[in-house]
Amino acid sequence: MFDQRNLIPPFVKQWYATMKLVRRQRLSYFGAVVAVVFVVISAVEGVFGAAILPYNPITSRGVPDLPPSILQWPPNLSHIFGTDPLGRDLFSQVVAAFPLDAEVAFTVIISAVLIGVWLGTMAGYEGGKLDQLIMRITDVFIAFPGIILALAIAATLGPSLIHSMEALIVVWWPKYTRLARGEALTVKSRPYVEAARAAGRSSSGIMLRHIVPNIISPIIIYATLDIGNVILNTSVLAYLGLGAQYPTPELGRMVFDFQSQLFLQPWLVLVPAMAILLIVLGFNLLGDGLRDALDPRSSRVIAAQSSAGQEGA
């Protein structure tokens, strides 16, 4: 309703200051680059489909200029990672798997954040019996080893990409509930929440307007560094045969499919495995950088934030 001059809200400025700090650390910067490249490739592929890949990841056969009788080629100029026993280009398969993993990772994280923030805010703000109820249920979920619970759920539902996603959401939300509850407890005692109560706001209004906007930044940051873990777990489920099904290219699935070739054509296993490693490492390094940058005891943070504050003012 008001004019849009000062549109940038404080948490965007905070993000900007944080990212500036992340850039100063080489490893985190590397992580950020990997994460961004991964997300961009996934997004572009999501829009244009497999058409942008050098070969069709599912139907390509052999190498046009070479004898068609031989399907499987080691890495060469036209297939930089070689081809699999069916003559499909490995590079195209690996890249084709990116949007799938990105989709799973973001769906799981966003669902977990939504459920966690909703339940955690209610538990933290309302307190009392509701808090006890929500947190005890959360404890039950946390008490299970995550991957085993996910395996059990995915196996019960039957192997498919959607089911592995659902299984991961079930495992993932409790962390965010705990995180959101803790943050909500802190924000709840701030004077502006009491002021809002004194001004006659309903408790749902206070939660949506005053609690959630003030707890969301740390949660978004935690979620960023959690993306790598989701990708890793998706791959684990796929490796165990519970994720995406043949012939859908999926990194964990590829490792599983080609593991019999490990000593004959090691690149078939190593390339998708390294891709998983790189992506997970990238998000974890980015996450480490974010955590360092947001540590209030670090003097670099104070310097960067004060300079960001001056730019903002």
Of 209, 260, 291, 295, the residue at the interface with other proteins (CB under 8 A) is 209
Contacting residue, 133, 190, 247, 266, with other proteins by CB under 8 A: 190
**192 touches other proteins (CB under 8 A):** yes
**Identity of the residue, 209 or 291, whose beta carbon is nearer to other proteins in the bound complex:** 209
Candidate list 158, 200, 263, 311; residue touching other proteins; CB under 8 A? 200
Q: Output the CA–CA distances (angstroms, integers) from residue 169 to 117, 136, 208, in the order listed.
A: 14, 18, 23
Contacts (Cβ under 8 Å, ≥6 apart) of 95: 41, 45, 53, 57
- Does residue 281 contact residue 228 with C-beta atoms inside 8 Å? yes
Q: In whole angstroms, how close is the CB of 148 to other proteins at the nearest point?
A: 38
Residue 118 φ/ψ, nearest 5 degrees: -60, -55
The least CB distance from residue 310 to other proteins, in Å, is 12
Exactly one of 76, 132, 186, 202 binds other proteins (CB under 8 A); which one? 202
Q: Which of residues 4-63 bind other proteins (CB under 8 A)?
A: 5-6, 9-11
**Minimum separation from the CB atom of position 114 to other proteins (A):** 14
DSSP string, 78-146: SSTT-B-TT--BHHHHHHHHHHHHHHHHHHHHHHHHHHHHHHHHHHHHH-HHHHHHHHHHHHHHHHS-H
Unique residue bearing structure tokens 């974010």? 290
Q: Is 213 a binder of other proteins (CB under 8 A)?
A: yes
Give the interface with other proteins as residue ranges (CB under 8 A).
1-3, 5-6, 9-11, 190-192, 194-202, 205, 208-210, 213-214, 313
